[in-house]
Each structure stands twice: as structure tokens, then as C-alpha cells.
Amino acid sequence: MSIWGPVRRKKSGSIFYRMFINGRWVSSSNNEFFEVRDPYDNSLVGMVPKATKKDADTAIKAAHKAIAKLSQLGIYKRIDIIEKMSNFVEKYKKDFVNTLVREAGKPVCYAEGEVNAVIERLKLVSQEARAMCGEFIPGDVCGVSGRVAVVVRQPVGVVLAISPFNYPFFISIAKIAPALVAGNAVVCKAASDDPISTLMFGRIAELAGLPKGSLNIITGSSREIGDFMTSHPLVNMISFTGSSAVGKHIASVAGMKKLHMELGGKGPAIVLEDADLVLAAKECVSGALKFSGQRCDALSRILVTESIADDFVRLVLKEVKKWKVGNPKNRKTLIGPLINESAIKKVEELVNDALSKGAKLLTGGKKKGLFYMPTILDYVNESMEIAWKETFGPVVTIMRVKNLEEALRIANKSEYGLDASVFTKDINKAWKIAMKLESGSVTINGHPAHGVGVFPFGGDKDSGMGREGIWESVREMTKLHTIVMNIGD
């Protein structure tokens, strides 16, 4: 018998999924569902519950009640449970990969990478637990004699985790695992376009022995339940990954809650005269096209100095031709479909706007179904929307600049500040540029890649608040508790 029996059932030729609330597998309280379709061929992947405010309230109250159980477990037991989750995901890796390929239209090579990252992130939870260590502060180091303090880290309480469509499985787990190891209970609102892999993880948590109510996974329309959840008085923290516009809205309704947000990006890559152009072209193309550009850390503005621009563009054109478009199930496919009609319409509008204002189309610029062909736009300038707006599509955007000063001005002019790259053989120059770039992370001679979070990352400006990573995520999901003792002179 399949382990997924509690998660789904077959009825009238379709597969109906259930949510995971308070340790039970349930449909929505009004028994409504919505369709999840394969972006590649529009086939029905499954019917998923459309949660109501009543369902959301039940999940949040269950999480609030479970906090005491998690505290009683102790940190070592929590680590043990999460490591078991890693083992179960590894055991059923094929099921998760196949699900991601279908629900997200994700090429199998990327789907495997995402599941491997989940397995690794869960294995690293014992290292994350170190971030729970506090500190001892003797008062006399600052002239306060007779007093000492112990500062400990405590869980914040109920964490509402809201996941995006582009890495629906990994980003959910990158929020859930550190929250749990810190002793928080979690309500995860899975991405509406591709929620099934996250729902399946609820079964993994159940098998691993997580206490009832500690993890709740719900699905549905953010428009209908989003504000209710983000303003709920029992939610203590919101961890959100998504657009800057939605992030700002959440902040406006959340009230006095701790917020942790990774929002939009418009990553610039500065390519200088002394760069290794072969390496720069390869990395910039990969940074722009990976997962069809549907990444907040995508390189979506390549600022290349005019003296080398022609040579660089020839290399970029050569690289883009290597990116095969096709069926996500094909192991050689690197470019799959975009997630939905709205996404492809946005890319098309941005490209057309650039062309109408003088950009030069070198390849691509066409769509077929939900596929947008890998596209290179040269001679992009500051008057074009694609120079400033998130693209979230497979477009290599090249802006020719006179010098480094102009490149820095354009790079920092953006309202976003998530990731950036610099390509130069001069490490001293690279360091100085990296210190001037207004972004949370700068990668030298490579494209941004957050991976499992070994290096801290997060956004400045409209790209978010807080940092994520193996240790940073746990710190974000705890609060400091200071105990001062008067021990006398």
C-alpha cells in the first residue's frame, strides 16, 4: 500500500488531495477544490482543497496549542525527528521529483536538484540548532559592577510560512525546518500554482513522529485567506517569499509581528574590460535562464562595458544556443514552460516594450503555449521597463555602459537589492565594487546561487528584510530573552 494514501484519493478519474491540519488529513470545511494543472501540457495533476478562513483558524489554533508539546520534546529530539524527515524524503525522492516536474513544469534536472537540496537542508538541521546557543555577559566589561546576564534564545511561537511557486518544495522546507528546530509550531500556506509536493511533506512529518499540530499545511486562495492569516492574533511571525508588492501588503496588515521576507530582485551583473569573457558569458546566461528565469536571484541586467560588449555578446549568443527547450521530463531539457498565462504575458509585454524603444532582438522573442523561447535583448537602456521590473522569464538583458561608474549608478538605481555579480580578474577591484553595490549578496565571477543556505542571503531595499541561511534562519525565528542577576560587589 502506498504511503500517500492519507494524502490523496482517486474519485471520478481525478486525484483529490487533502490538507494536513492538527495531525489530520482533511478537505476544506466547505468541500471546495481548485485545479492544479501541468504547465507543459495542461493536463490535470490533481484537485486541491480551497481552504476557508475557518480552516486557517483551525490550523493556527492547532499550532498555538502544539508549542508546549514541542518545548517538552527538547532540542535533541526535535533534531532527531527532522533528520528522520530527511531520510524519508530521500527514500521517496522519485515521488517528489515526479510531482515537481508535473505541478511546476520544472525540468527533471532542476526538480532533482530541488529535492536533493531539501534532503541536505534537513540533514543540516543539527548544525542549525547551534544558533539556539545564547551568551553570558559580565556587567563589569561595561562598568556595571555586581551584575551579570544570561541571554538565551527562545522560540517566537507560531510561524506562518508562505511559499512561492518557483521552488515550492525547497523554500517551504527552508522555512519549516529552522522553525521547528527552534521550537516553533508552523502553519505553511503552500503555493497555489504547485502545492502538492508541500502537502506530501506533511505525510513525511507524520511518519517522522512530529507531534500533532506542530506542522499544519493548508492550500487555497491568498486573496481569500491571506489577510486573515497574516493578521491573526495567534500568529507571532511571518516568513514570506514572493513579490515585493505582496510583501509590502503583508507588512501593512500584520501588526506587531516579526517579519522575515525575501522579496523581488533585479540582479545586475557588471562585466568589466579585464573579465574572463568566456566565464562571464557562461555564468551570466546560466544566471538569467536557469529555471526559465523564474527566480528572484536571476541575473536580469547585464551591465557590460562598451569596449568589450561586441565580443561578450557573441559569446552570450553561443551560450544561449546550448539551452534546450522542451518536455520537462526529458533529462536534456533546460528550459521548460513558465508557470501560467499571467507569467508569460508579463514577459511578452516587457520584451515588446524594450523592442519598441530601440532594443535589439538577437534571438528568441517568441512564445508557444506557456513556453517563452530563450531571448537575448541587446542595447537595452534606462527608458525601458525591462531595465527595472522583475522579468521572471528566460531573457538575457544586455545594457552597454561607458565605464564602471555608470554601471554602479544603474545597478544601485534599482528599487531592488537582493543579488548582484561582478566579473573581473582584479580581486582588489572586485572587492571595492562589491562593497559599493546595494544588495544583500554579491557574487564575484559567478552567478548568484543560494543553494541550501551555507552563505547568508537576503534583500536590501524593496527586496526584503532579514536573512536566511543554515544559521541565520534559526536566529530569525527566535527571540532574545535576557536574565539579569544582581550578584553584589
Query: Would you place residue 129 in the very low, low, confident or very high pLDDT band (cuts 50, 70, 90)?
Result: confident
Query: To the nearest 10°, the Cα dihedral for 164, 201, 228, 68?
Result: -130
In the chain, residues under CATH classification 3.40.309.10 are 267-458
Q: Are 440 and 330 in contact (CB under 8 A)?
A: no
Query: pLDDT by residue (tens digit) across 312-371?
Result: 999 999 999 999 999 999 999 999 999 999 999 999 999 999 999 999 999 999 999 999
Euclidean distance between CA atoms 476 and 466, whole angstroms: 7
Residue 291 to residues 76, 286, 309, 391, Cα–Cα distance (Å): 37, 9, 26, 13
| Beta strands 267-271; 299-305: pairing state | parallel
Query: For the segment 253-262, what is each residue's pLDDT rounded down to a tens digit?
Result: 999 999 999 9
Is the pLDDT reported for residue 85 higher than 70? yes
Rounded Cα distance, 67 and 234, in Å: 12
Cα 216 to its chain centre, rounded Å, is 19
* Domain 8-263: top CATH class: alpha beta
Lookup: cell for 156: 517566537
Give pLDDT tens digits for 158-173: 999 999 999 999 999 9
The answer to whether residues 462 and 442 touch, using CB atoms and an 8 Å cutoff, is: no
pLDDT at position 39 over 90: yes
The catalytic residue positions are 262, 296
The answer to whether 294 and 7 have CB atoms below 8 angstroms apart is no
Which residues lie across from 8 on neighbouring strands?
Answer: 17
Are 447 and 301 spatial neighbours (Cβ–Cβ below 8 Å)?
Answer: no
User: pTM score, two decimals?
Assistant: 0.96
Rounded distance, CA 470 to CA 38, Å? Answer: 32
Confidence of residue 1 (pLDDT cuts 50, 70, 90): low
Cβ 196 vs Cβ 48: under 8 Å: yes
Lowest-confidence segment of 73-77, 372-376, 398-402, 413-417 by average pLDDT: 73-77
Q: How far apart, in Å, are the Cα atoms of 343 and each of 242, 294, 376, 453? A: 14, 9, 18, 27
- What gap in Å lies between CA 396 and CA 365, rounded to an integer? 11
Residue with cell 508549542: 67
Q: Is the pLDDT of residue 11 over 80?
A: yes
Supply 203's cell numbers.
505525510
| 22: DSSP letter | T
Written as nine digits, the cell of 134 is 545564547
Return mean pLDDT, the chain. 96
Residues of each domain in the chain carrying CATH 3.40.605.10: 8-263
Fold held by 267-458: Aldehyde Dehydrogenase; Chain A, domain 2 (3.40.309)
Give the Å distances, CA to CA, from 427 to 67, 264, 384, 469: 49, 29, 32, 25
Length of the chain measured in residues: 489
